[in-house]
Amino acid sequence: MTQAERRIYLIKELLAEQPRYRGVAVPADSAGQKRLLRSLMNVRPPMLVGEGFLAVQDAYLQKELAQKGVTDYRSLAPISEGIYLWQGDITTLSCDAIVNAANSGMSGCYVPCHSCIDNCIHTYAGVQLRQECAAIMREQGHEEATGRAKLTGAYNLPCRYVLHTVGPIISGRLTKREENLLASCYRSCLELAERHNVKSIAFCCISTGEFRFPNDRAAEIAVRTVKEYQAEQNSGIQVIFNVFKDIDYEIYKNLLTAG
């Protein structure tokens, strides 16, 4: 199959799953097809899917990843001992584990083509990730608490694991409690990672953006918490601070290179 043939196959299979999608036409252009495929994957509930679908999906996502290009964190220069700063798409970063800024439902973002990191990670990992997350949450029996974390496989991402953590949502003036909860996200991820023998972990900017935590204060808490953990635990875990926006890159660079 060509990449276009895989994409059309996946779209048709996803449309056929839901009677309400009868009559939805497959766009003729590749950009329209990609938007429709991502939208269908985003809204798809965590239900079983056939091995044939998974084989085509995995081949499609692996080809897409190869076209985007993978960055191995080991090719980066550390900004200080055990700490790296990298600006780019976290779904293309090769390391042991990446961190997903999840919501309390823990099964991904269901908004079609939303730009949040939760949506991106689930899109490019494949439908298996939502299935695993949903199974974990069914067993737990309640939503995930803010400041805690769960570990899953990474499927079609170029890492081994995804750590899903729920950061605080800021609705007014920032409080000490919310700052402590954000620090708990970083500690929970580090502790869970080391229990699974993770040697390198990439953190996104947890709780910023949609969750409205101030970028500069979030970065201060992230850097302080990681450095304290590494020192207190005598940990050799390699930490990559992954940023996407220029403003976050400058904030982290200033923090990490200051005296």
Of 87, 80, 74, 83, which Cα lies nearest the Cα of 190?
Answer: 83
What single DSSP character describes residue 239? E
**Looking at residues 74-80, what average pLDDT do you find?**
95
Taking all residues of the chain, what is their mean pLDDT, rounded to a whole number? 95
**Looking at residues 84-100, what average pLDDT do you find?**
98
* Amino acid identity at 49: V
- Which H or E element spans position 139? helix 127-140
Using the predicted structure, report yes or no on whether residue 259 has a pLDDT greater than 60. no
pLDDT digit string, tens, across residues 139-162: 999 999 999 999 999 999 999 999
Using the predicted structure, report yes or no on whether residue 258 has a pLDDT greater than 90. no
| This prediction's pTM | 0.95
What single DSSP character describes residue 144? P
How far is residue 252 CA from its own chain's centroid?
A: 19
pLDDT for the residue 22:
87
pLDDT digit string, tens, across residues 174-196: 999 999 999 999 999 999 999 99
Q: Which two tokens stand for residue 114?
A: 């939303």
| CA 237 – CA 226 distance, rounded (Å) | 10
DSSP codes of every residue in 177-214: HHHHHHHHHHHHHHHHHHHTT--EEEE--TT-GGG---
Which residues are within 8 A (CB) of 146 and not within 5 positions of it... i.e. 6 or more apart? 104, 166, 167, 168, 181, 184, 185
Percentage, residues of the chain above pLDDT 70:
100
| CA 253 – CA 62 distance, rounded (Å) | 32
pLDDT digit string, tens, across residues 12-71: 999 999 989 988 999 999 999 999 999 999 999 999 999 999 999 999 999 999 999 999
pLDDT for the residue 169:
87
Question: In the chain, what are the helix, strand and coil shares in percent, each to the nearest 5?
Answer: 50, 15, 35
**Looking at residues 103-129, what average pLDDT do you find?**
96
